Amino acid sequence: MLESSKFNFLVDQHKNRIFNYALYMLRNRMDAEDITQEVMIRTWQNINKFNFNAARAWIMRTTHNLCIDYLRKNQLNFQREIPIDNEQNNYLEDKSNEANPATVVNKKMTGTKIKSAIENLPEKLKSPFVLYELEGFKYKEISKILDVPLNTVKVNLLRARKHLQKELKFYASEQLK
């Protein structure tokens, strides 16, 4: 009974987090669902073995490892098979000066394009970026999840931000043509 309660609590807390991370890593909804299922089953199998307070890091580390194993096994290319979100089409409006280049970039940005740009990040940069910016993990937690030094997390995060900026600027310049 207690195990079931613990499991249900962990599932409710982390299911979307696991799913979103797997979605960005694998870029395929069905694969992300499979990975999410597998993570939940492993959580159940290890429900008595790990510290409840460290469950968050354990769950995300398991998710990350399974995603990496899956990618290496299937040798996925960077073509997106099923779009993550066909319906979202958010425009970010900015009412500042039209001549301002930042405004031009801002106007042309959509939710789907942001997601696409994040997906296209190299794997080593994408992991810390998604965990920090989208899932709200701290540097130390990310270091444990990815099993890399703290400085590596900070460096890769910075590189990811620069890479993303280049991607989106390129997109914006294409839109202006």
Partner 1 sequence: MQANNLNKLNPELIDKIINVAYGDASFFERMIVNWKASRISEVRKVLEEYKATANSVHDVRKEELPEYVVESVRRRIEFENESENLISKIYFALFSKPIFSAAVVSIIALAIISIFIFRQTVEIPKYSKAEIELAQQQLGESIAIVNKVFNKAEQKLDKEILNKRVSKQLNKGLNLVNEYLIGG
Return residues touching partner 1 (CB under 8 A): 7, 11, 15-16, 18-20, 23, 33, 36-37, 40-41, 44, 84-85, 88, 90, 92, 94, 100-102, 105-106, 109, 111, 114-115, 118, 133-134, 158, 161-162, 164-165, 168-169
Give the Cα separation of 137 and 141 in Å (integer): 6
Whichever of 36 and 143 has its CB closer to partner 1, that residue is 36
Whichever of 84 and 148 has its CB closer to partner 1, that residue is 84
Least CB distance from residue 172 to partner 1, whole Å? Answer: 10
Contact of 121 with 163, CB cutoff 8 Å = yes
Buried b (16+ CB within 10 A) or exposed e, 136-152: ebeeebbbbbbebeeee
Name the amino acid, one letter, at 86. Answer: N
Whichever of 56 and 115 has its CB closer to partner 1, that residue is 115
Whichever of 54 and 92 has its CB closer to partner 1, that residue is 92
∠ CA 141-4-16, nearest 5°, is 45
* Residue 49 structure tokens: 């073995």
